[in-house]
Amino acid sequence: MSIATRQTISTPDGPFTILADDAQRVLVSGWTDDVDRILGRLRAADRPATVREGVTDAASAALAYYDGDLSAIDDVTVVQHGTAMQHAGWHALRRIEPGRPLTYAEFATHLGSPNAVRAAASICARNAPALFVPCHRVLRTGGALGGFAWGLDVKQRLLDREAGVPALIG
């Protein structure tokens, strides 16, 4: 792939950047306006040679999500490169319902490998199209947030939004 389109939108959680290929498939996304940080979420072999600013189809889905349509992100097409288990995991992440997060252990069981908790966590850590593949919906045993590439504050606000918790105004 040689050319990708980058669009940054404003969200309540900060700037959100989407990088999409020429077919409008999301390659990577996250809460930053730093293109190098976005590109750093991709393996070197998967990075586009050229990134141009433009409009992505996925931006409207992200904005609709922030306007309360939590299912707006479900049909956004993404492209990820990885192992068969990673692909199965990324697909499974998209089936976790908003407001019903799983623990890493439950996620591993859901993948058919109950003892592969570390592998389940690794699948989340290597997820490039954040929000559209909602890795934020996986928590540590006991409900602790665990890790999130874009910060635990963003992860908590996403989970609160999906659980119907009103945002604090202040």
The residues that are catalytic are 135
Cα separation, 84 vs 103, in Å, equals 21
| Cβ neighbours around 28 below 10 Å, total | 27
Tokens linked to 148: 């999130």
Q: What is the separation, in whole angstroms, between the first and last Cα of the chain? A: 44
Cα separation, 90 vs 5, in Å, equals 23
Q: What three-state secondary structure class fits 36?
A: helix
CA 141 vs CA 105, 106, 107: distances in Å:
7, 9, 11
